[in-house]
């Protein structure tokens, strides 16, 4: 029987990062992973690399390039005739990007001496000062022991009750990232992150996309000013049809597609007929058949593993990180937790600051934020100041032909400490990093406002918004 200092279950971003860090710290490490690609090949990287962050960004890039050729190049004096696209080639490129990334993790495992145990991992019980785990479903079933275990089993798409996902007509994220042709009509249940990102991909390529969202407000977790701007961009400018406040009725597959019955926000019965349907209504943690009970652990009512602020479970030496525990289901949040768990096992002071985890929605424009929204601060009765600056007053944004959007900064009225930063712009995902760093260092708005930013650059908008907190932006 093989014995390890650390066994990680799951090789998504939370698990593989935990395994690599544990390897760096000098532990003997194994990572159990059962993922198989559609071709049946074992693969590392989890949801994020195989059917999440990476493939979605590859398709977002391809479809955005197509849209730019059609609608933006003309402004630069570039005319392109006979523009065509090839879905099969786009999907093949996406698969190649995925494969390059997943192979990269195999390299990292070799470099850091992490053993990859292929198959389903499950606790069998405790062993001398540690745990016994079974790995099954791979080449052979084996039992290993570990002094410490990091559970990083991630999540899967939540499905609608009684609506089977076949990933042909009714798709979750896996099918939605692999549609073999552009459907004429595409229905999307849930106007959250996946609905907006993947709805955008297929709309850009020509699908007529309708999103049905249960909540009465759009992008409720975004700052209200950003949500308002995004609504205008997605619906009026881009033609996504987003219906809010709907109540779903029957969803039926027909010979030609899918019929969705629903009640609209005014209580009227409606019907959506679409060639394909994406169900993107959130994700649920993977905890089935993990043998948690054999080591005295339970999940909460929603299936998450209970952990403390340092991802410790109630079982000594057992940690749980990433989507399988509370907090935002984001790859970078899981990665930070993976590092923290490995460092705590090594006796170090691992720590994650949950107040400064950025969010990004990779639509066009992108939406990114960190910290509190204005509506949250209002609800808390906090005293705050607001600074805002539009990209339309920035030379670089104008040169790039990307003048839409703004940066909005919320700062403490008394101390000037930055409480939240919200960006809506074509490159918001890159801009937000500066705000995260500033908040991590507990900066005041004035600290960033007095920092020299390169000219011309989009980052000047961040500086101007910080200046705006004290009503002293220069270029407006
Ligand atoms: P996962 O990535 O789900 O990995 C868990 C792994 O554990 C899987 O490989 C699974 O096979 C394995 N596993 C489960 N149970 C067992 C077991 N018993 N034995 C062995 N192996 C097991 N997040 C972002 O931050 N940015 C994005 O742009 C982004 N885009 C996304 C786009 C889509 C379409 C989707 C679906 C998600 C996206 N996410 C994004 C979310 C992100 O993918 C997840 O937050 C992240 O993958 C969670 O990492 P994880 O390691 O906790 O779990
Ligand atoms: P989500 O939580 O972002 O959105 C789901 C939406 O579906 C919500 O708006 C919800 O109100 C709605 N909904 C739920 N039940 C419904 C019903 N019965 N009828 C109509 N609407 C309903 O979840 P999504 O989009 O599935 O993504 C899952 C998670 O994956 C995200 O929360 C995020 O953590 C992660 N993700 C992150 C990305 C990023 O960081 N860019 C990209 C994609 C996913």
User: How do beta strands 185-189 and 208-212 pair?
Assistant: parallel
SS3 (DSSP) at 412: strand
Question: In this predicted structure, what is the pLDDT of residue 140?
Answer: 84
Distance 331 CA to ligand 1 centre (A): 7
Question: In this predicted structure, what is the pLDDT of residue 341?
Answer: 98
What are the Cα distances from residue 192, in Å, to 220, 227, 278, 300, 356?
Answer: 9, 12, 12, 24, 21
Q: Which atom of ligand 1 is nearest to the CA of 43?
A: 9
Q: Do residues 179 and 62 lie in contact, with contact meaning Cβ atoms separated by under 8 Å?
A: no
Residue 144 near ligand 1, beta carbon < 6 Å: no
SS3 (DSSP) at 339: helix
DSSP-assigned beta bridge partners for residue 149: 7, 318
**Pocket-testing residue among 198, 211, 282, ligand 2, by greatest number of atoms within 8 A of Cβ:** 282
- Cα 218–Cα 199–Cα 49 angle in degrees, nearest 5: 105
CA dist., res. 448 & res. 461, Å (int): 11
Question: In this predicted structure, what is the pLDDT of residue 353?
Answer: 98
Name the token pair of 251: 């969803």
Question: In this predicted structure, what is the pLDDT of residue 27?
Answer: 98
Question: In this predicted structure, what is the pLDDT of residue 244?
Answer: 98
Please check the confidence at residue 158 and state whether its pLDDT lies above 90: yes
For residue 162, give the ligand nearest its CA: 2
CA dist., res. 122 & res. 143, Å (int): 9
Burial (Cβ within 10 Å: 0-12, 13-18, ≥19) of residue 36: middle
CATH of domain 356-468: 3.30.390.30
Residue 220 near ligand 2, beta carbon < 6 Å: no
Q: Which atom of ligand 2 is nearest to the CA of 220?
A: 9
Please check the confidence at residue 19 and state whether its pLDDT lies above 90: yes
**56-67: average pLDDT:** 98
Please check the confidence at residue 176 and state whether its pLDDT lies above 90: yes
Query: What length is written for the chain?
Result: 476
Question: In this predicted structure, what is the pLDDT of residue 465?
Answer: 99
Q: Where are the domains of the chain?
A: 2-157+284-352, 170-281, 356-468
pLDDT in tens, 247-279: 999 999 999 999 999 999 999 999 999 999 999
- First and final C-alpha spacing in the chain: 69
Q: Which CATH architecture has domain 170-281?
A: 3-Layer(bba) Sandwich (3.50)
Give yes or no on whether 170-281 and 356-468 have one common fold: no
User: How do beta strands 359-361 and 366-371 pair?
Assistant: antiparallel
Distance 104 CA to ligand 2 centre (A): 28
DSSP-assigned beta bridge partners for residue 423: 368, 407
CA dist., res. 272 & res. 336, Å (int): 41
Cβ-proximal residues to 472 (8 Å cutoff; 6+ apart), any chain = 449
DSSP-assigned beta bridge partners for residue 85: none
Please check the confidence at residue 163 and state whether its pLDDT lies above 90: yes
Q: Do residues 50 and 174 lie in contact, with contact meaning Cβ atoms separated by under 8 Å?
A: no
CATH of domain 2-157+284-352: 3.50.50.60
CA dist., res. 318 & res. 153, Å (int): 13
pLDDT in tens, 190-236: 999 999 999 999 999 999 999 999 999 999 999 999 999 999 999 99
Q: Which atom of ligand 1 is nearest to the CA of 13?
A: 51
Catalytic residues, which ones? 455
Residue 15 near ligand 1, beta carbon < 6 Å: yes
Q: Which of 434, 406, 433 is nearest to 422 (CA)?
A: 406
Q: How far is CA 82 from the centre of its chain?
A: 35
Mean pLDDT for all residues in the chain = 97
């Amino acid at each position: 029987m093989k014995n390890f200092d650390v066994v990680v279950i799951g090789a998504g971003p939370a698990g593989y990062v935990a395994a690599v860090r544990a390897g760096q710290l000098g532990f003997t490490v194994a990572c159990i992973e059962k993922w198989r690609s559609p071709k049946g090949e074992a693969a590392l990287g989890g949801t994020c690399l195989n059917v999440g962050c990476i493939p979605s960004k590859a398709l977002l890039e391809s479809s955005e390039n197509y849209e730019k050729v059609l609608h933006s190049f003309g402004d630069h004096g570039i005319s392109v005739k006979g523009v065509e696209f090839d879905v099969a080639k786009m999907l093949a490129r996406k698969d190649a990007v995925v494969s390059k990334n997943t192979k990269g993790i195999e390299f990292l495992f070799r470099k850091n001496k992490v053993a990859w145990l292929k198959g389903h991992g499950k606790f069998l019980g405790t062993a001398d000062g540690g745990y016994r785990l079974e790995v099954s479903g791979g080449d052979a079933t084996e039992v290993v022991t570990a002094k410490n275990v990091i559970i990083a089993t991630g999540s899967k798409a939540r499905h609608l009750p009684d609506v089977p996902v076949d990933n042909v007509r009714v798709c979750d994220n896996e099918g939605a990232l692999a549609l073999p042709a552009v459907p004429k009509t595409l229905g999307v249940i849930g106007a959250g992150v996946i609905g907006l990102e993947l709805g955008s991909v297929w709309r850009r390529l020509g699908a007529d996309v309708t999103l049905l969202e249960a909540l009465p407000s759009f992008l409720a977790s975004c700052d209200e000013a950003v949500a308002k701007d995004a609504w205008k961009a997605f619906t009026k400018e881009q033609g996504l049809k987003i219906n809010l406040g709907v109540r779903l009725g029957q969803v039926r597959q027909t010979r030609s597609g899918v019929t969705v019955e629903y009640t609209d926000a005014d209580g009227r019965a409606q019907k959506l007929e679409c060639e394909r349907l994406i169900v993107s209504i959130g994700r649920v943690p993977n905890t089935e058949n993990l043998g948690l009970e054999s080591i005295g652990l339970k999940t909460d009512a929603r299936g998450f593993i209970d952990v403390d602020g340092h991802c410790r479970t109630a079982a000594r030496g057992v940690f749980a990180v990433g989507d399988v525990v509370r907090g935002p289901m984001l790859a970078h949040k899981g990665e930070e937790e993976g590092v923290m768990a490995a460092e705590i096992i090594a006796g170090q002071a691992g720590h994650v600051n949950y107040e400064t985890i950025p969010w990004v929605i990779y639509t066009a424009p992108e939406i990114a934020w960190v910290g509190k929204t204005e509506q949250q601060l209002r609800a808390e009765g906090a005293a705050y100041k607001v600074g805002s600056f539009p990209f339309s007053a920035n030379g670089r944004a104008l040169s790039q032909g990307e003048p839409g959007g703004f940066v909005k900064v919320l700062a403490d009225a008394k101390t000037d400490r930055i409480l939240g930063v919200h960006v809506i712009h074509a490159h918001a995902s890159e801009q937000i990093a500066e705000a995260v760093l500033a908040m991590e260092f507990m900066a005041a708005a004035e600290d960033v406002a007095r920092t020299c930013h390169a000219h011309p650059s989009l980052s000047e908008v961040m500086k101007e918004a910080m200046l705006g907190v004290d009503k002293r932006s220069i270029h407006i």
